[in-house]
Amino acid sequence: MTFNDLPPTIGAALAAQGYSEPTEVQAAVLQDEAVGRDLIVSARTGSGKTVAFGLAMAGELLDGVGRVRFGAGPLALIIAPTRELALQVSRELEWLYAQAGARIATCVGGMNPQVERRTLQQGVSIVVGTPGRLRDHLERGALDLSALKVAVLDEADEMLDMGFREDLEEILDATPADRRTLLFSATMPRPIVALAGQYQRDALAISTIGEERGHGDIAYQAVPVAPAEIENAVVNLLRFHEAETAILFCATRDNVRRMHATLQERGFAVVALSGEHSQSERNQALQALRDGRARVCVATDVAARGIDLPGLSLVVHVEVPRDAETLQHRSGRTGRAGRKGTAVLVVPYPRRRRVEMLLRTAGVQAEWRPAPGPAEIRAQDRDRLIERLTKPVAADEEDRALAVLLQERLNPDDIAAALVRAHRASMPEPEELTPDLPREARERTPRAGFEDVVWFRIDVGRRQNADPRWLLPLLCRRGHVARGEIGAIRIGQRESFFQVPTAIADRFANAIERTAGQGEGDDGGVRIEAAPEGPGELGGAPRRQPGKPFHRGKAPGGDRPPFKGPHNGGGARFGRKGEGNGPRSKGFGGKGRPQRG
């Protein structure tokens, strides 16, 4: 299919931009059965959908000679979830409808609303905006939608995820009942289907995603790592791929801040995007990525929505996506418009099964491979450096004169070594990582410094919702040791066992005895004692059902009050299903709930 049947002004605009034939989604909306109908379109990001809905609404906007009709108000309204996406849509429609004489108004947060209102009052044919700003103009009487012919909801699933349903309903309720409604969404969850049923009539469903929900131009990798080495693994992934532009996804703004600081310290050119950044800071960060001053962006899911970065070839899921849709949206930042991209999931060892289920749900085939180590990275550096330095260069007379001077003072080997050293100086050093051993091997292999240990016993276990996240601080506090001086922890039903190096076992035992009865809350009443025989085969009754608090009566060895976890004043309780809810952690491996966005 070609663009031959389009109005001449639109065809000329496409030709000027180098378009020779439509993409799959563009061809689908131009079919005879789609003309004049409401559409609900499933199309992945980067498939050319902005031009697609621009073409689809041409029949409502243009007259017989390809010029835009003008009426009492705008004829087309495009609603986008974020400022960046709205601006991108506006730029696309400007060149597409430039020769047709369209006047376009963009209404988004962060811009002067008075200027937007004046533009609307002067008369426009197309309005592009975000839900909140459009609703504000509508309620103030600056936006008249009584003459609207077509409404487009771009990335509708993201708008609903971001809580814009009420705004969308108020805007659409103010439009004529006979308008066309074009709904574009990468996924089709139930809220989208409900929205379509409420505001569309006999909508034609179009899907260009196919059976595989993952993007065909994205290579997925899953990298298992020790929870304590997530940051080091991210450093090595960035060094190994050396992407022109990369984006790292974290779940919370706290972790964005932490990851951003870590990469800055290592020497990466990095920016951050989260809910704590102002619009001006967002603009500066995005501009730094576009002009090459920064190559890495650390962002939350919400802050990264609607971002289109040319040259983005690497997405790293620093924290595991919460569901298949989030995985798809994050990964869809790369592999756009036919370009190849790589999406890497950093998988803490305890979460491997969850990630395997997530990938199956998303219909994604991922390559499981270890995180790149220093040797692998240096081999990549060597190949890239040789390729870069052997490329022909355009040198002027001054450059050649300096080269001659260097040859007079240094031999060729020294010149080459200095050149290599200068290039390597800008590369952050890779990190050493623990090898990815099978689970059984990891359990059998002692940690460095724990080849000779003494086992100790503490009389709380799974029945009391014992969790290493709060057991470890308790042991350090009672035994006057650092976290690194506690080895493996084995949790049973009613008791738990842990290792202490033999060299400090006596000192640890003395401290435990001195601090008995002195802990925070009831921590000091927890019995801790040497257990030379070790954990043996830990067993016992099945774990209690989540949500049912456990009330402990007599402890082994005597009467004392129920054990209270150090995070609250009551008995240990469950947070998420099947997981203990110990003290909230701000690190990447914790279960805390810092503010998102």
Three-class DSSP labels, 316-355:
EECCCCCCHHHHHHHHCCCCCCCCCEEEEEEEEHHHHHHH
Q: Which of 471, 511, 222, 550 is nearest to 362 (CA)?
A: 222
Rounded CA-CA distance 135/149 in Å is 18
Give 8-207's CATH code, choosing from 3.40.50.300, 3.40.50.2300, 3.90.226.10, 3.50.30.30.
Answer: 3.40.50.300
Higher pLDDT, 477 or 247: 247
pLDDT band at 448 (very low <50, low <70, confident <90, very high): low
Of the two residues 355 and 47, the one the predictor is more confident about is: 355
44 neighbors 215 (Cβ within 8 angstroms): yes
Domain with CATH 3.40.50.300 in the chain: 8-207, 218-376
- The whole-number pLDDT of residue 337 equals 58
**In a 3-state reduction of DSSP, which class is residue 129?**
strand
pLDDT at position 564, please? 45
Q: How confident is the model at residue 529 (pLDDT cuts 50, 70, 90)?
A: very high
3-state secondary structure of 561: coil
Sign of CA dihedral 125, 129, 131, 137: negative
Q: Give me the pLDDT at residue 222, please.
A: 95
Q: Inform me whether the pLDDT recorded for 338 exceeds 70.
A: no
What average pLDDT does the segment 578-582 reach?
36
Least confident range of 71-80, 185-194, 352-361, 413-422? 185-194
Q: Which of 7-21, 427-441, 559-573 has the highest mean pLDDT?
A: 7-21
| pLDDT at residue 548 in the model | 35
Instruction: Give the mean pLDDT of the chain.
Output: 81
Strand 496-501 and strand 489-491: pairing? antiparallel
Percent of all residues in the chain with a pLDDT value above 90, rounded to a whole number = 34
Give the pLDDT band of residue 551 (cuts 50, 70, 90). Answer: very low
pLDDT at 297: 94
- Kindly report, residue by residue over 248-267, the tens digit of the pLDDT: 999 899 999 999 999 999 89
pLDDT (0 to 100) of residue 560: 39
CATH topology (fold) of 218-376:
Rossmann fold (3.40.50)
Q: Which pLDDT score, from 0 to 100, does residue 442 have?
A: 47
Q: pLDDT tens digits, residue range 261-302?
A: 999 998 999 999 988 888 788 889 888 988 889 999 999 987
User: Which residue, chain included where needed, has tokens 């009865």?
Assistant: 517
Determine how many CB atoms are found less than 10 A away from the CB of residue 383. Answer: 10
Residue-level pLDDT at 6: 85
Report how far residue 343's alpha carbon sits from residue 335's, in angstroms, rounded to the nearest whole number. 9
Looking at CATH, the fold of the domain delimited by 446-581 is given as Alpha-Beta Plaits (3.30.70)
pLDDT bin (cut points 50, 70, 90) of residue 473 is confident
Question: By the 8 A CB rule, do 44 and 207 touch?
Answer: no
Q: What is the largest CA-CA distance in the chain?
A: 94
Instruction: Report the pLDDT value the prediction gives residue 537, as an integer from 0 to 100.
Output: 64
Distance CA 31, CA 28 (A): 6
* pLDDT over threshold 50, residue 236: yes
**Cα 22 from Cα 55, distance rounded (Å):** 10
DSSP letter assigned to residue 102: -
Cα 490 off chain centre by: 33
Overall pTM > 0.75:
no
Work out the pLDDT band at 573, boundaries 50, 70, 90. Answer: very low
Q: Residue 231: what pLDDT?
A: 92
Q: What is the pLDDT of residues 479-498, one digit of tens each?
A: 888 888 888 888 888 899 99
Tokens read off for 109 = 């947060």
CA–CA distance, 127 with 133 (Å, rounded to integer): 12
- Give pLDDT, residue 561: 39
* pLDDT band per the 50, 70, 90 thresholds, residue 406: confident
Write the DSSP assignment of 289-302 as a string of letters.
Answer: HHTTS--EEEE-HH
Q: Phi first, then psi: give them for residue 553, nearest 5 degrees.
A: -100, -110
CA distances from 7 to 3, 11, 54, 76, 152 (A): 9, 6, 12, 17, 20
What is the edge-to-edge ordering of all strands in the sheet holding 245-249?
A: 270-273, 296-299, 245-249, 312-317, 341-348, 218-225, 366-368
Contact 24, 111 (CB under 8 A): no
Please list the residues that pair with 205 across neighbouring strands. 40
How far apart, in whole angstroms, are the C-alpha atoms of residue 472 and residue 477? 9
**Residue 558 scores a pLDDT above 60:** no
Contact between residue 571 and residue 563 where contact means Cβ atoms under 8 Å apart: yes
Q: How far is CA 406 from CA 410, 413, 419, in A?
A: 6, 12, 12
Distance between CA atoms of residues 320 and 354, nearest Å? 9
Name which of 538, 564, 559 is nearest 549 in CA terms: 564
What pLDDT score was predicted for residue 210? 55
Alpha helices in 425-565 (DSSP H): 439-444, 468-479, 502-515
Alpha helices by DSSP H, listed for 410-530, are 412-424, 439-444, 468-479, 502-515
Q: Is the pLDDT of residue 549 over 50?
A: no
Please state, in angstroms and as integers, the Cα–Cα distance from residue 286 to each residue in 48, 166, 269, 308, following that order: 22, 29, 13, 9
Between these two residues, 588 and 433, which has the higher pLDDT value?
433
- List residues bridging with 107 in a β-sheet: 129
